[in-house]
Amino acid sequence: MVDQLSRPKDQMEVYWFSEQAQGYIADDQLEKFESGRLAFPNTHFDPAKAHKLYNEYHEQYALADEIGFDGIMTNEHHSAYWCGKPAVNLDAAVITKITKKAKIAILGNVIAVNDPVRMAEEVAMLDCYSGGRIISGFVRGGAVETLQAGIDPTQNRERFEEAHDLIVKCWTEPGPFRYEGKHYQYRVVNPWVMPMQKPRPDIWFPGTGSPESVVWAAQHGHPYMNLGAVMETTEWLKQIYIDTALEAGYKAGPEHFGYLLKVLVADTEEKAQEIGRHFVWTEGHRQRGPREHVDPPGYQSRKALEVKRSRPTGVFAGNMGDALSYENQQEARVIIVGTPDSVIEKLKYVAENLNPGYLLIYGNEGPMKHEDSMRSIELLGKEVIPALKEIKLQAYD
């Protein structure tokens, strides 16, 4: 049975997103090591600097809520200097207390490597904390998450799908019940805390270019969030979603599709270009490493690999050579920087061509100054978002 929790809307929702990068890490520190993740020693982590950064990032979230963003998106990665959030639900808990109106999109919990009943309980708590503002995104996690958890990479997808089904069961079926699955077994499942939203929080699913991910999301009626594929590939993926939804018995619309872009707004074009260069901070280093750290055999299907070889998919995932340059990413409209007027023009092009129900703004990176991020949020909220709200979303053919 396909879930259809979202309702058609004629206005795009705009979300603020930050990786909470530990921007004090420099290229010369990374160059000595074969990988920017599992091989990069955690002795380079500075708790005092992290303390300052965490508080600044949360000030940015609070301003985004106050200034008019529809939501705040947060995520998690492990062994990642460029993402300071190894526990997304902890970050989401803070966000519930520093915001009042914004939806909180958790994108997401790496459920393939975690206890799914515990995940169901934690998200239910967050939904109650927030007054029903949680969007519960689920992710397979990258290869590093799988390796760090000691999980066989070939089992990642099937573990993910089983965990997803069990979490939904926890939220929608009364306990206690017994559960005997392939990867998870529980004599008694009876989570006490249940979500405020009924029948459950919305579930988002992200991807960087694999059509299999799009098909799975569409079969379940979950909104698919594309994380930075170029426009041509994104349009192709959206059509796969639309076609799969029809096969599943429903008509997809903008409320089922979202797109993530790196966006920075400043008072002048020159300042925006200068600050925006931080968007390519250590982009090559973060993905460098032996194959078993980046793409272990069996983690991706052969079909997914064929697609990624034939099409330019997620630029944030690397492996695109010169396409990762600052100039080329601007040309491809996956990095958008400028004054409010120029950013509005560029985002309108994206909105009118992709027609996404959700625009996810990846708003800062690396060593960007806190005051520059705060100014960008202010300009986005006061000038850019109101202009985007004037664009009426169109039903999908």
Q: What is the mean pLDDT of residues 338-366?
A: 96
How far is the C-alpha of 129 from the C-alpha of 140, rounded, in Å? 26
Q: Say whether pTM exceeds 0.85.
A: yes
Q: According to the model, what pLDDT value does residue 310 have?
A: 58
Is 6 a member of any domain? no
Whose tokens are 């969007």? That residue is 135
Q: What is the DSSP letter of 212?
A: H
Q: What average pLDDT is seen over the chain? A: 91
Reply yes or no on whether the pLDDT at 378 is more than 80: yes
Q: What is the mean pLDDT of residues 269-275?
A: 98
Q: What would you report as the CA-atom Rg of the chain, rounded to the nearest whole angstrom?
A: 20
CATH of the domain at 312: 3.20.20.30
Instruction: State the amino acid at position 365 in one-letter form.
Output: E
Reply yes or no on whether the pLDDT at 281 is more than 70: yes
Above pLDDT 90, what percent of the chain? 78
Q: What is the mean pLDDT of residues 160-185?
A: 98
Q: According to the model, what pLDDT value does residue 285 have?
A: 79
Reply yes or no on whether the pLDDT at 314 is more than 70: no
pLDDT digit string (tens) for 128-163?
Answer: 999 999 999 999 988 888 888 888 888 999 999 999
Is 373 a member of any domain? yes
Q: According to the model, what pLDDT value does residue 293 have?
A: 73
Q: Which two tokens stand for residue 375?
A: 């100014």
Q: According to the model, what pLDDT value does residue 320 have?
A: 45
Could you list the residue range(s) of the whole structural domain that residue 127 is in? Answer: 13-389
Half-sphere exposure of 393 (CA within 13 A, CB side): 23
Q: How many domains does the chain have?
A: 1
How far is the C-alpha of 58 from the C-alpha of 97, rounded, in Å? 10
Is 140 a member of any domain? yes
Is 397 a member of any domain? no
Task: Name the more confident of 152 and 383.
Answer: 383
pLDDT digit string (tens) for 66-116?
Answer: 999 999 999 999 999 999 999 999 999 999 999 999 999 999 999 999 999
Q: Which two tokens stand for residue 9?
A: 């809307």
Band of pLDDT at residue 41, cut at 50, 70 and 90: very high
Q: According to the model, what pLDDT value does residue 317 have?
A: 42
Poorest-pLDDT segment among 115-119, 144-148, 262-266, 377-381: 144-148
Q: According to the model, what pLDDT value does residue 322 have?
A: 57
Is 7 a member of any domain? no
Task: Name the more confident of 313 and 128.
Answer: 128
Is 371 a member of any domain? yes
Q: Are 323 and 332 in contact (CB under 8 A)?
A: yes
SS3 300: coil
Q: What is the mean pLDDT of residues 252-261?
A: 96
Q: Are 110 and 141 in contact (CB under 8 A)?
A: yes
CA distances from 177 to 124, 180, 187 (A): 18, 10, 8
